[in-house]
Amino acid sequence: MRSPLLLFALFALTTISEAYSFENSEAQAAVCWESPTCGLNNKPLEKSIIKVDSTLLPLIITKTTYSQYYSNNFPSLITAIKENLILADPVGNMHFLKEDIFSETGFPLIHKKYVSVKDLKYIDKFESLFACFHYVDDADNSKHTAIGQLKLNKNIKNDKLQWDFLFDSNHKEVRPNSCAMDVSGSKIYFIIGTANEGEINHPIAQNKDNTLGKSYTLDITNRKVELLTLGHRVSLGVVARNDGYVWFTENGERGGDKLSYLIRNKNYGWPLKVSGTRYLQFTSSTNPSEKNNNKADLSSYIDPIYAWLPSISPSGLIELHDFNSAWDGDLLMGSLKAQSLYRIRLRDNHVLSIEQIYIGQRIRGIKQLNKEILLTTDEGALITLAVDSERLKLNSPLPATPGGQHLLYCVNCHSISSADVTAGFGPTLRGIYGKEIASQNFPYFSDSLKKVIGIWDEAKLTSFLLDPSSFAPGTTMNLGINLSKEDVKKIVDVLKTIK
């Protein structure tokens, strides 16, 4: 007997896959990758696999790059119907992606002008896709944010599928900057973001009469909308945690990037009280009374649970379940500017720890699918993270090098994984043998080491490790001990094997 999952996959890939007649010409113009005979599907992909050691788990990270096949509108929105991965671009074109083949979903577009989909989630309980998007009203050019539901009922023929609008708000002349949402039970939690401050005495995000800079709940069953909170800037990630709390990230200016959770009726401060400073300034606030040298009472605003200095530009946010017991229950957050993942451990709604895992691309979308974490990036890659179970079983970052313990001293400062997650201490030692001296992506090389010309061969590594400051006077590597010739030989032999 066929499993229901397989049946659904077949349904999704065949029944609804007949092409739609798109009335929306703007939407049509955007893509080539949607057709099986153009772009992506016909060209070889670039794949690279790297191994990265996070603190608790060894990871295998696979990057598949599609960027050479389109110039804009990368499908950065990511969701899944059961096991079927869906990527969507901001216009709302949706595609299944299976084994590197894109195929059209055949799902209808949202028939509005200048649609920009900001968040997309499939919720099994409702057999529906939910989208939060911006559009412009044809009649009066007013700017809107809306939430749509696309019911994928198997009994509805594909040409009868249609977006149903559950919520619509009118921002008149002001363009919204973000909409992020999550669904919990029968409620959608969403934040409509604005980077626009408005007039100094009437900040937009503080004005209850408009929907910008506010968070809401929307009951899917009766469409009742309730204002939750105000004072938000640009949020790219909202997650309803299993314990019922709804967490979000927010992009500030310099150092104003924050992590927090929604508490009904509270004011999160933008633009009056922020955690960072303005761009190109050392001061932080536009608070009118502060300008008048009369400090206002800012205590009524909610402080973030955590704020990043310097800014990292947080993006998508998920809670991990059934991925690996070492990470389950933690939040995983993408970042644009820091090109990293952040694993955030919370305890009683406080941050216990944050681990940065460097990925090397601007991460936008994030989705867990079974034992994999999938990321979309601005560089046009789909990145997959999985636990390297072989190395985890061996409980060693270096399964192939039995002499790995000789490096025990070095790993105080160096990492031996591909991406240097300990950046700030020393450059990674993976692949160092044969590499040009002081050439890798590490911001803190000393001028003295940078002056040394050549590659790290046996002779150079040996003399550097025997006496770093004779080899490169002024080097910032201070071993603190004298290694014997025998030790150095063993260490160099191990370094040769860490490719």
What is the binding site for ligand HEC (CB under 6 A)? 409-410, 412-414, 426-427, 429, 432, 437-438, 440, 445-446, 448-449, 456, 465, 472, 475-479, 491
Work out how close the CB of 416 gets to ligand HEC at its nearest, in angstroms, rounded to a whole number.
10
Say if CB 93 and CB 131 are below 8 A apart: no
Q: Tokens 């536009």 identify what position? A: 286
User: Residues 317-348, buried b or exposed e (16+ Cβ, 10 A)?
Assistant: bbbbeebeeebeebbbbbbbebbbbbbbebee
CA–CA dist 51, 208 (Å, integer): 49
Which C-beta is closer to ligand HEC: that of 375 or that of 429? Answer: 429
Residue 202: exposure state from Cβ atoms within 10 A (0-12, 13-18, ≥19) = exposed
Smallest distance, ligand HEC to C-beta of residue 439, A = 6
230/438 with CB nearer ligand HEC? 438
Instruction: Identify the H or E element spanning 464.
Output: helix 458-466
Distance CA 278, CA 90 (A): 29
DSSP result, 348-372: TTEEEEEEEEE-SS-EEEEEEETTE
Nearest distance in Å: CB 409, ligand HEC: 5
Nearest to 234 by CA among 272, 194, 264, 266: 194
Minimum Å gap between C-beta 398 and ligand HEC is: 13
Query: Between residues 304 and 427, which has the closer beta carbon with respect to ligand HEC?
Result: 427
If the CB atoms of residues 354 and 479 are measured against ligand HEC, the closer one turns out to be 479
* CA pair distance 437, 187, nearest whole angstrom: 56
Shortest spacing between CB 481 and ligand HEC, in angstroms: 9
CA-only gyration radius of the chain, Å: 26
Q: Residues 97, 86: contact at Cβ < 8 Å? A: yes
Q: Judged by CB, which is closer to ligand HEC: 363, or 437?
A: 437
CA angle 11, 14, 18 (to 5 degrees): 125
Least separation, in Å, of the C-beta of 341 and ligand HEC?
24
Quote the least distance from Cβ 397 to ligand HEC, whole Å: 15
Helix (H, G, I), strand (E, B) or coil at 147: strand
Q: Which is nearer to ligand HEC, 13 or 413 (CB)?
A: 413
Supply the minimum distance, in Å, between the C-beta of residue 162 and ligand HEC: 57
* Closer Cβ to ligand HEC, 300 or 412, answer by number: 412
The residues with which 137 forms a beta bridge, in sequence order, are: none
Q: Which is nearer to ligand HEC, 265 or 482 (CB)?
A: 482
What is the side-by-side order of every strand in the sheet holding 163-170?
Answer: 113-123, 128-136, 143-151, 163-170
Q: Which residue is nearest to ligand HEC (CB)?
A: 410
Residue 341 or 461 having the CB closest to ligand HEC? 461
Structure tokens at 380: 């046009």
**What's the min distance (Å) between Cβ of 82 and ligand HEC?**
46
